A and B are shown apart, each in its own frame.
Chain A
Amino acid sequence: MNGIYAILLREVKIFFREKERIISILVSPLLFLFVIGRSIGTGANPVRDTPVEVAIKNAENIQIIEGQTKDSLQSTVVQARPISNGASPVQGYTYQQFIFPGILVMVCLFTSITYGLYIIWDKRLDFLKEVLVAPISRTSLFMGKSIGGITGAMIEVVIVLLIGYFFILPVPLWKFLLCVLWLIPVSYMVANIGLSIGARMKSMEGFGLVMSFLTWPMFFFSGALFEISGTSPVIKTISFFDPMTYAVDMVRRILLGYGNFSAYTNITAVGFFAVLTTFIGIKFFGELQQTK
């Protein structure tokens, strides 16, 4: 326990000291949100933002800000409609608002996976050796690391939620908090993936490969930018196996009151992946040896 805490403390300290990292991780998600989000939302379907709809949208937002019970929100749940012209698949929300949950998950995904892969640096800089000879089990080391990653991811998530609050989607505090709460197991799971891969990788060169062949696909197939029910069967199938799909779906449920899967399915899926990646990570960490 002490060991887990010691590792965790170190990770959190380091995260706050690397301010460039905090900022740079936000760049691509914000580009998606403001460039793609805005362009597709208004440019591709100029008809969508008719004054009437804007009015409805604003009305809804006001309603939300005023805050109400879950039940009353349930009644405002809007149904998906077939995707057309790249416009928002969810009635009552702009495309930018539609992708906002996906972007939130993206931030969580990128922060956590990068965090996990950073263990390669630890190995390269030999700092890891110090921890590997310490009398803490590899399991504690792994848990300390993966839990340590949550703090960083949550800070990024809160920043994006705040940006969203002011520019895109004002949400009541409880939704805000529910999102953060939901993304804790998500970031834990993703950090596990990063750590597991990082434990196996010898050099930072693999970093780019993981980003191109794993992280970006995980993001794209999650339905962060499109509506899964409206896409091709092949993509649908892949999405089904992408843990991010359920992460995005749940955030959408929380923020937009709309989703393809039940909350129960989402929780089960993410829970399953979190447990699975924990076991994989513990196994890989158990095999960690000195690299130099």
Chain B
Amino acid sequence: MPSLIIHTEKLSRRFDGLIAVNEISLDIPKGEVFGLLGPNGAGKTTFISMLSTLLKPTSGRAWVAGIEVSNDSLQVRKNIGIVFQEPSVDDLLTGRENLELHAMLYGMARDERKKRISEMLELVSLSARADSFVKTYSGGMRRRLEIARGLLHQPKVLFLDEPTLGLDPAARKIIWNYVKNLSETGDITIILTTHYMEEADFLCDRIGIIDHGRIVQLGSPEELKRKVGGDIVILEGTIEIEALKGLNFIKSVHAGNGKAEITVMDAADNLPVLLKHAGEIDRVEIRPVTLEDVFLKFTGHEIKNEESQDTIFERIVSVKTNK
């Protein structure tokens, strides 16, 4: 497996009774930006922790850069960089000192160290505050420092566990562009988790959707969207759900509170028919399928998103698609 930089075989991790990661077998080729999407507690961080040698697998095996993780963890660590989900910068040091410590830990030469540190500080717009103590930073500033640190030593494999969590939109865009640029110009392989679907869509070559410790879907963003298929039609008004059941171009219906999200094949053609049967409609909206729809479909967590339990009425109609 020469071009595979990450390879796992039935990698699993249990915590007491709970199976956080359940027999994940995954291959990631060199140079890919791989996204892990999944609801809270799905096992993303646990999976990354095992690959980055922070957590021992309870069963199964994993290779990073050709080295088995539980065999020679030091060698693995030489090849990776990681931005943690939870902030892990040192409060009692200044921003620059945090980066210096990191550079020293990764054995960077003195000149290179200086140059890279100021570059990274510039990237995350922290140059002006570089010499203040981290305890005086805002949440987003810490996050930015954390990212600068993860990128500092230019690893072969970079793990980004919700890197842009808590960043303002401008900062997020800067990071996106940097990561995109990094993946396009270098050999770096990036494994990213995120709850921002646009981020995954923009950055990832391939996405794995993980739920209850298992990868339930795998493919490029386009492939995954195609799996959901069609377009999303959003109707508002007095909707007759029962009537919609009979229409064979409808893939699924999510309804509640006088609003329905309907996944429709060939919406442009089928919309007139749909509207005829749908009841008293006040408002119609059509949009293409997004990764968010993919996420909701394959993790089945949309139910939790719509709160008021009495009025909600949820039904998934499975219809054979006319391929």
Contact = CB atoms under 8 A, between A and B. Distances in A.
Interface of A: 2-3, 5-7, 9-10, 13-14, 17-18, 125-137, 289-290, 292
Interface of B: 49, 52-56, 74, 77-78, 80, 82, 84, 86-93, 97, 101-102, 104-107, 149
A176 B77 CA distance: 44
A135 B107 contact: yes
B118 to A, nearest CB: 19
B92 A133 contact: no
Contacts of B49: 290
B105 to A, nearest CB: 4
B104 A6 contact: yes
10 contacts: A3-B104, A10-B90, A10-B93, A10-B101, A13-B97, A126-B86, A127-B90, A135-B77, A135-B105, A136-B74
A2 B101 CA distance: 10
A62 B56 CA distance: 63
A51 B102 CA distance: 63
A164 B254 CA distance: 79
Given A7-B105, A127-B90, 18 more contacts: A2-B104, A3-B105, A3-B107, A9-B101, A10-B90, A10-B101, A13-B97, A125-B88, A126-B84, A126-B86, A129-B54, A130-B90, A134-B105, A136-B74, A136-B105, A137-B74, A290-B54, A292-B86
Shortest 3 CB-CB contacts between residues of A and residues of B: A6-B104, A134-B105, A290-B54
Nearest to A5: B104
Q: Most B CB atoms within 10 A — which of A131, A132, A137?
A: A132
Nearest to B90: A127
A21 to B, nearest CB: 11
Given A6-B104, A125-B91, A292-B86, A133 B56 contact: no
Contacts of B149: 130
Given A137-B74, A289-B54, A14 B92 contact: yes
Contacts of A125: 88, 91
Nearest to A122: B90
A131 B102 CA distance: 8
A81 to B, nearest CB: 50
B106 A134 contact: yes
A7 B87 CA distance: 19
B315 to A, nearest CB: 39
Contact of B55 (A13, A17, A137, A290): A290
A226 to B, nearest CB: 39
B273 to A, nearest CB: 53
Contacts of A290: 49, 54-55
A41 B101 CA distance: 50
A40 to B, nearest CB: 40
Given A14-B92, A18-B92, A6 B86 contact: no
Contacts of A9: 101, 104
Nearest to B50: A290
B54 A133 contact: yes
Nearest to A2: B107
B88 A130 contact: yes
A127 B97 CA distance: 13
B102 A130 contact: yes
Contacts of A137: 74
Q: Most A CB atoms within 10 A — which of B49, B78, B87, B90?
A: B90
B89 A127 contact: yes
B93 A14 contact: yes
Nearest to A127: B90
Contacts of B87: 126
Contacts of A289: 54-56
A15 to B, nearest CB: 10
Contacts of A134: 77, 102, 105-106
B53 A133 contact: yes
Contacts of B90: 10, 127, 130
A169 B106 CA distance: 48
Contacts of B54: 129, 132-133, 289-290
A289 B52 CA distance: 11
